[in-house]
Structures are given as C-alpha cells and as structure tokens.
Structure 1
Amino acid sequence: MHSPTAPDATAMAVTDGTVVWLGQDSVGRALHPDAEVVELDGAFVAPAFVDAHVHATSAGLLLTGLDLTGCASRAELLDAVRAAPGSLVWGHGWDETRWPDQRPPTRAELDRAAGGARVYLSRVDVHSALVSTSLVELAPGAREADGWSDTGPLTRAAHHHVRGAAKDALPVEQRRAAQRAFLRHAASKGIAAVHECAGPDISGRDDLADLLALADGPEVVPYWGSLEHVDLPVRGLAGDLFVDGALGSRTAALSHPYHDRPDTSGALYLDAEAVAAHLVACTEAGLQAGFHVIGDAAVAAVVEGFERAAAAVGVPALAARRHRLEHLEMVTPEQAAKLGSWGVVASVQPLFDAEWGGPEGMYAQRLGVARGTALNPFAHLAAAGVVLAFGSDAPVTAVDPWAAVRAAVHHRTDGLGISPRAAFNAHTRGGWRAAGVDDGVTGTLQPGAPATYAVWDAGQLEVAAPDSRVQRWSTDPRSRVPALPALDGPAPTCLRTVLRGRTIYERE
C-alpha cells in the first residue's frame, strides 16, 4: 500500500468508500471481526491510476474500429482499408516515419482502396488525417481552409472540417459503444479516473454529454478546450485548447524551422495576448484554464501569457486556480521555474518519449538530434515544483500506466527522467491534483482517503505473507520490498479496480 503514515501495513479496512484503518492483518481482524474479507493470494494493492489526458470516443474507436498502429507500410494501410466493412471507415494510428519510404498514401490511392466508402484515418498524433474524396464532399469548407492538400494528408483547419464531417456521419450508438469500450479498457488497466479533453474541434458537445452520462466505470473529469463556455459541468476551459499543433504533423510552433522541412516552422494558433486574456478570464471566474502546447515558440507564447496574467490578477490568484498545460514538450529549465512559481500543472505523456524520443526517433527526424533529444524534461519540471500528472493522450499512445511509469524513469535522454516513486505519484495522486483535488489524501491509501485503489498480480514479487487478504482488507507485498515492482520485467496484471469503495473492474 502506498501509505506514508503506515509503510509497514499489510491490511486496510474500508467503510462507506473511505479507508478507515491500516495496519497488520492480524490486528485488523481483531478490530473488524465482522468485515467482509476478500482473499488476494499474494496480490498487492496500490492507489489506482489516473489518466490525465484522454479522448474517449477516438480511443474507443481504436478498440472497436480500424487500428492502424501496427501498419508497417503504405501498402498495409491500404490493404486494411480495402478489408474494412461499412460506408464509413474510421481508422487511427498510421505513422509514416516508420515506413520504408516514409510516404503516406495519396488521396487517389486511398480512393481506389476505399471503393467509394467515406474514409477518415487520423495520423498517430491526431493532428492530420488521410481522407477519401467522398468524405471531403461532406465538408466543402475544407478545400478553402488552411492546411488543405489536393493529394496528401489534411492539417490545421482543413483537418477540423473533415473530422467534423466524419463525426457527424458516425452513428450515435457506435459512438456510445466506443465510449463504453474505452472506459472498460481503462478500468482493466487499474485506472479509476480519466480526464476527458473534449472541445468543439475534437469531439463536440453531444459526444461529451454522452460520455458524462456513463456512470458505471472510471470517473470522468471533463475539460472543454475552448475560449467559450459550454452548457455542461466541465472542470475547466482547458485541455486541448490549441496554442499549436504536433511535431509529427509539423504543426507544432517552432522558433526555428523544422530540420526535415526548412520551409515551415509550424502553426501558432494563439498568441501571448490571447493566452493572457483566457487566463485572466478563467482566474476571475474561478475556473481552471489550460492549453495544448508543444513547440518552443508556443511555450514561449504561453510563458509570456502567464507573465501578463500574473501582472493583471496577481500571482496568488493565478496560482490558486492550478491552471494546466498539456504536453509541454519543449520547455527550458528557466521556463519551468517560472511555471512552477505560477502553480502550473503539467499534464504530460511519458510514452511520447518512449515512442519518438532518442537520437533515432521521430523527434530527432523532425528537429535534429540536438533539439529532438531535449524534449519532455520531466526532471526539470519536477525540480521546478511543477505538478506532474501523467496520461496517455489516448488514442495517441496506449493506455498502459505501468509502461508510462517505466518510460518516465527510463527517459531516452540521460538526466531528464525521474524516480520510480515520483513517476508513480504523477500517475496517481498527480492526476487528482491536476483536477483540483488537493486534500492531501486523495490518491494515497491512508485513513481518511477515498478507497480508490487497484489490486495487482504480484507473481514476480516476493509475497509478504501466505494468507494475503483485502477487505476492505488488503495486503501489500510492496511493504516488504524497497521500491515499486520491477520496471524492467513484465508489468503487473490488474485483478480489480475500485473507485471510492465500488468495484469498477474485476478480472475473470
């Protein structure tokens, strides 16, 4: 159990969804003789994970629809489209940087494979997409919009037009089924809460309303990525409120051109003035603000926006709102120090570095090795006092919390990773803090904390006692070992996920 108040505890008791006691199993049985006891047979218990950045419908469609993440070539992608049933083919996950010729299909090639079907295939970063001509016909504004291409992937505003058309063509029940599939999948990974980063250009109001109506899985913390309010109970006007785009699609805003495309420096959608205005408005309204920010030019605009906002409302008021930044990949130690002083939360994705970091990865292709190996500096952010909250950005990377913890520890660039304990905290307590829950106990296991935890198969660990139990009891072999489960071996298997005393997942 992750309990600073009882590091040697081997059992806990829960009443009405709250942890009421921790200690030794024998003592617990004497104190709670009528407790329901659940046998764990050597499993261990820890606070449940929080995924601080997801897109539930898109991630669910990856589970229920066309998964292109394993395509190793353009030909494989086109074969997958040919085999896909239905008049609307929604796929995700292609990454041309891993293909032999590093070229995505042309629209003509996609049309031949589609056979007249409407096709929307988002790139792995979801900032560009391959689309069929029949889908473009449903989005006439795309041809005149920024980011239009007659032959290749669509980006920027043109992408938003066709994505909106694809969303509108998606049957409502298919959308809801995708959401349910995603939430079930998240719970099976030991996740008890997800931060849904919705918005008018991402998913839409009805999509978010349907998601919030689902009540039998992980808690959904909703964000709306817009400068404008929405008539839903969102946590803040934050999440994917785009200051820029993504590196893979070359739309992240850079201070110097892309290494592999010197004719472009990306796209800046909001400047420092707009950032400051949004921060001031949200601070004065008692709301959490936030932005999607990746490139160094975008980070510079955000930092300047925070400086202007601090001058307008004062640092205490600004810091009290715990405004958040999504991704925050190209940030310097000096900028991190400023963000820490303003109480900023960094909602970051360690699997980005695992997927695209290092001297041979996509970041280095796009930015050159010097710039491309300095991204996602978790150590600098943590040292500056920035609250770290880990997530997947599903469907961009897999919902795999233990892999994310491992990636944060074993960063591809020496000196940028953090300790196992800090990484685990960022994926548990950090997610609750990012959502404004900072009571000192949520996200831990100690008396007074919500009983939100996951039970894990500890087959690779030394078992503390042969009669390991939980009940609202739970035993924890980790109390007998110096650290978290080995991050270099097989990941633990989730046996049960519990949210405030209610089981939301149980492995059969």
Structure 2
Amino acid sequence: MTVPPTEALVRYTNGRFYSAAEPRATAMLVRGDTIAWLGDTADAPAADRTVDLDGALVTPAFVDAHLHATDTGLAVDGLDLSGARSARELLDAVAAFARTRPAGAVVHGHGWDESTWAEQTPPGAAELDRAAGGRKVYLTQASVHSALASSALLPAAEGVAGYDASGWVREQAHHAVRAVALGSLTGEQRTAAQRTALSRAASMGIAAVHECGGPGTSSEADFQSVLRLSGQGLPQVFGFWGELGGAERARQLGAHGAAGDLYADGALGSRTASLRSAYHDGDHGCGEAFLTAEQAAEHILDCVRAGFQSGFHAIGDAAIETVLEGYALAAQQVGVDRLREGRHRIEHVELIDKAMIARMVEFGVIASVQPVFDALWGGPDRMYAQRLGVDRALASNPIGAMHATGVALAFGSDSPVTALDPWAMVVAAAAPCNPAYRMKVRAAFAAASRGGWRAAGVDRVGVLAPGASATFAAWETPGGVVEGLPALLPDVDGVTPARPVCRRTVLHGETIFES
C-alpha cells in the first residue's frame, strides 16, 4: 500500500541546501508536508525512504506570481511567432502551422512583435484568411493586449472599442475576439492546455502559480477549471479574479483575491497603457484609462469589508497614480493599518516615480512585477524606447529602486507574455537594462520564491528551515554556485554560466516533478 505523503518520513541526503537556518547542511528530513530536520548527511535520522540528491543544490521552490494557464498551454503546443521579423515571415509561419490543423480548427499563435520589424505593419485579416486556408486565426501580440484576427472572428468585435477592420484589434475589441477564439476549445482541450502549462511550470522548479483571470481575460469556466488542477500532482494554483466590485463573485469562484487582471489601463506594446504624457511614436495620445480613483477605492473597500485581497493591473504612470489614489481614498475610510493588513497588490507597475513608490510602501501594496519585460523591451533601442523615448524607457521597471525603498516584491512571468523561466526573472532583476536598478541575486531570488507566497498571504513557505513547508526544488548547477545560489551573471571575463537544470520539484512534501 502506498504511504500518503502526509504520513511519510523522507530523508534527502548528499545535497547542498540554500538555508539560512543550516547553511552547511547536506541532508534534510521531511515528515509529511513539513521540514523536520536539516544537518549533515552522516547525522541524518532514519526514515521510511531515502532520496540521494547526488550533489544537487536544494533551494526553496519558485512561485510564478502572474500566469495565464490556458494561454500558456496553447503557446507551448501552438504557433510561436516570437521569431517572426516581418509580416511575410508571420504569414509563412501561419500557413505552415495551419496545414497541421483540422479545417474547422482555430489557429492559435502568440508572440509576434512588430516593434522588431523593419516595416512595422502587420498583415490584414484577408491575408490571414488566405494563409490559413480559410481557418479562423487568432494571433496574440507579445503583450497579449492586442491580436490579429481573421475575417471570421472580427464580427464579434465590430462596434467595440479597439476594433479595426484591418484585423488588428486592441483591448475591449480584443477581449471580444479572444472570447470567441478560446470559446472554440472543448472543456477537455482547455484542461489539457492548463495541465501542459502547469506541468511545464513544475519542470522549471515552480511549485505555485498565481492564475490571473477575469472578464475579458478568461471565462469563469476557464478560471475554475485551472483551480481544480491545483496540487493534483501539479503546482498549487492561487486564483485572482479581476472584476471591478467583484469580491463576492471572486469568492464564489474559489479565488484567492479580487485582484490580478483588473485593468486600470492596457499595455505599452499596444500603446494603451495610461500615461501622464503622450506616447513618443506617432499620434497615439496618452493611452487608455479604464478606472477612476473613486472606482478603485470602492473596489478596495469592498475587498476590505470582505476580508479579501484587492489588486489591479496598472502599467503606465497615470494608471498607477489613479490606483494609488484609490488606496489613499480607501485609507481615509478604514485607516492605513487595516489597509496594510490586506496585502493588496498592483500588477506590472512599470512606470512609477519616487513619490508613488513611497505610497506603495505607506499602504503596504505589493508590486507583482515581471523583470523579463525589461530584458526583452527595455534599454535605449528597443520597444519601450520606441513607445516612450529613451529617457522614459530607461526609467521604466525600477524594480531595484522599489526593493531598496521597501516595497514588497513578487516576481512573475505573465506567461505567455514571457516564458516560464524563473532563473531568467532573477537574472533580469539582478542585471537590468538600467544598472541603477540592480538588485542582489539573493534579493531577486527571494522575490521570485518567498515573495510569491507572501503575496498570496502564505508565510510558512519559501524558506528551508525546520517547521517550514517542505516545498523546494533540486538543481543541477553546471555553472557552479556563488553565495549559496547558482552562478547566473557573467564572470570577470564576460563568460555567462550555464543555467541550472531542475531535477526535482516538491510541493508540501509531494514530488510534482522528477527528471
């Protein structure tokens, strides 16, 4: 008879452990879901089962604090357009992929980024129709705040804000098209995509994810489907349902908070992030604002009264300012201390100044951020510089400045916007495009691991110490180890170490991945 993991006593030996409690430990004893002991392999107590780590480095497991499981699974098995460098390359990729799909299927693709093209005009709906042989086509831009849609999908968005007859739809029109495209999936296909995403996460040393859903982002059925997979031999799923005034509905759906993708604005890639001053490239104004401070405050108060976590998607400085004013208005009603107890959060937080950072600290608002955004689009000559100008681009994503000022951080990928790759998040935060915002590797690792648990209100996970949850990952470290963690940054000769490889992921004592 199999011994349930809650009762088993497992001894992990011949490893190295990233543990402030026992920095020289080479063995760990796990009783059920809890770390019972850390120490030297020679002194390890007897157990029901022994796992030889063969020299692996054991660290707390990662948490991806912003994920879209269905879209991620579809991207893993679907059409990757991140390498397309022109409209012609995109169409050729669609044509080749469409031939592998049934005639009635929707061609799902992701990752095209026109800012990397010499001619930045994407193909139109009629061209997509021809390339796909008449199949429906839904291709999300890298930011997932706009998409290219074929002619058959466009009627769903006609007359909706963000509609364009060319087939390049944004924000609300995109949400309408997205609902049709994702609605074409059967329940089995949707669950399979979610399982693919969570399995991929586990293989990367990720033991928990924050699924961000809400109207326009995903359906209630989609959201509840991924929640049902939580911990079923897969990472734990914390669900955040982003619906204005929807605290009670979020609770009914099984959400952990009324937060995540509750949109205060759009995205920089689609020029819909809400800015204080106009976009740099062309006549696009200051983007889109979807909330007022008063609406934000009422949502926050609704959550406080329900004892629930609130949160918002806010990328541009105008949107972040609006949300923070909402927290200020809420604090006038319930007091700062009660507000801080809620561990409320803002997603993305890309354009924020010192005054707004101070307000984040004052209200105890967590910044759920994606460091790889900066790695992909930051600096003086990439997409942010096109959209914002060089000065504002270099001031974006000041993650290190937020950390230094005392903002609590949780790192995520926003997958499929960026790939499931937690060490890439750590590297991007430790070596950002603007060196003024550098973080120590150890601090970045904490934000990518323990920070995600704390952002979900869970405190006994994210460290290796007796009494803590047995939630960890074991790594092969071909590049070596520096200060207890894998070597990640280039050495003095400019050589970048090989990345760690996950060999095992354990969630509350249960192995959810083993290579």
| TM-score normalised over the length of structure 2 | 0.91
d(CA) in 1 for partners of 2:46, 2:167: 68
d(CA) in 2 for partners of 1:186, 1:297: 33
Give the conservation status (yes or no) of the 8 Å contact 1:104–1:152: no
5 Å-filtered alignment, 1:257-276, equals: 257-276=278-297
Q: 1:46 aligns with which of 56, 59, 72?
A: 59
Matched, 1:187 2:202: yes
Q: 1:77 aligns with which of 90, 111, 122?
A: 90
Task: Specify the code of the residue in structure 2 equivalent to 1:450.
Answer: S
5 Å-filtered alignment, 1:440-459, equals: 441-459=460-478
Q: What is aligned with 1:220?
A: 237
SS where residue 59 of structure 1 aligns?
A: helix
In the TM superposition, residue 179 of structure 1 has moved relative to its aligned partner by 0.6
Q: What is aligned with 2:510?
A: 502
5 Å-filtered alignment, 1:352-391, equals: 352-391=373-412
In the TM superposition, residue 35 of structure 1 has moved relative to its aligned partner by 4.7
Say which structure, 1 or 2, has more relative contact order (CA 8 Å, 6+ apart).
1
d(CA) in 1 for partners of 2:75, 2:312: 25
Give the conservation status (yes or no) of the 8 Å contact 2:150–2:167: no
Q: What is aligned with 2:486?
A: 485
Task: Specify the code of the residue in structure 2 equivalent to 1:446.
Answer: A
Matched, 1:115 2:133: yes
- 1:386–1:428: structure 2 CA closer, same or farther, 3 Å change rule? same
5 Å-filtered alignment, 1:38-437, equals: 38-83=51-96, 84=98, 85-86=101-102, 87=104, 88-137=106-155, 139=156, 142-214=157-229, 215-227=232-244, 228=246, 229-230=249-250, 231-437=252-458
SS where residue 134 of structure 1 aligns?
A: coil
Give the root-mean-square deviation of aligned CA atoms.
1.2
Q: 1:27 aligns with which of 43, 50, 71?
A: 43
Give the conservation status (yes or no) of the 8 Å contact 1:255–1:296: yes
Give the conservation status (yes or no) of the 8 Å contact 1:403–1:491: no
What stretches of structure 1 of length at least 5 have no aligned partner? Answer: 462-477
Alignment deviations for residues 39-60 of structure 1 (CA, whole Å, 9 cap, x no partner): 2222110000000000000000
d(CA) in 2 for partners of 1:152, 1:330: 29
d(CA) in 2 for partners of 1:388, 1:167: 31
Task: Specify the code of the residue in structure 2 equivalent to 1:157.
Answer: Q
What stretches of structure 2 of length at least 5 have no aligned partner? Answer: 1-16, 490-496
Alignment deviations for residues 335-390 of structure 1 (CA, whole Å, 9 cap, x no partner): 11111111111110010000000001110110000001111111221122211000
SS where residue 267 of structure 1 aligns?
A: coil
d(CA) in 1 for partners of 2:238, 2:228: 12
Task: Specify the code of the residue in structure 1 equivalent to 2:296.
Answer: V
Give the conservation status (yes or no) of the 8 Å contact 1:42–1:458: no
d(CA) in 2 for partners of 1:274, 1:497: 41
SS where residue 278 of structure 1 aligns?
A: helix
Give the conservation status (yes or no) of the 8 Å contact 2:479–2:488: no
Q: Which moved more, 1:182-191 or 1:171-180?
A: 171-180
d(CA) in 2 for partners of 1:21, 1:167: 47
In the TM superposition, residue 108 of structure 1 has moved relative to its aligned partner by 2.4
Give the conservation status (yes or no) of the 8 Å contact 2:367–2:409: yes
d(CA) in 1 for partners of 2:178, 2:437: 35
d(CA) in 2 for partners of 1:72, 1:262: 24
d(CA) in 2 for partners of 1:370, 1:376: 12
Give the conservation status (yes or no) of the 8 Å contact 1:341–1:385: no
d(CA) in 1 for partners of 2:68, 2:146: 16
d(CA) in 2 for partners of 1:118, 1:33: 60
d(CA) in 1 for partners of 2:438, 2:397: 9
Q: Which moved more, 1:106-115 or 1:274-283?
A: 106-115
Task: Specify the code of the residue in structure 2 equivalent to 1:329.
Answer: E
In the TM superposition, residue 172 of structure 1 has moved relative to its aligned partner by 2.2
SS where residue 392 of structure 2 aligns?
A: helix
In the TM superposition, residue 17 of structure 1 has moved relative to its aligned partner by 1.5
Displaced runs of 4+ in structure 1, greater than 4 A? none
Q: Which moved more, 1:388-397 or 1:106-115?
A: 106-115
In the TM superposition, residue 152 of structure 1 has moved relative to its aligned partner by 4.3
d(CA) in 1 for partners of 2:68, 2:401: 27
SS where residue 262 of structure 1 aligns?
A: coil
In the TM superposition, residue 314 of structure 1 has moved relative to its aligned partner by 0.4
Alignment deviations for residues 128-173 of structure 1 (CA, whole Å, 9 cap, x no partner): 0100111123x1xx11111111114101211111111112122222
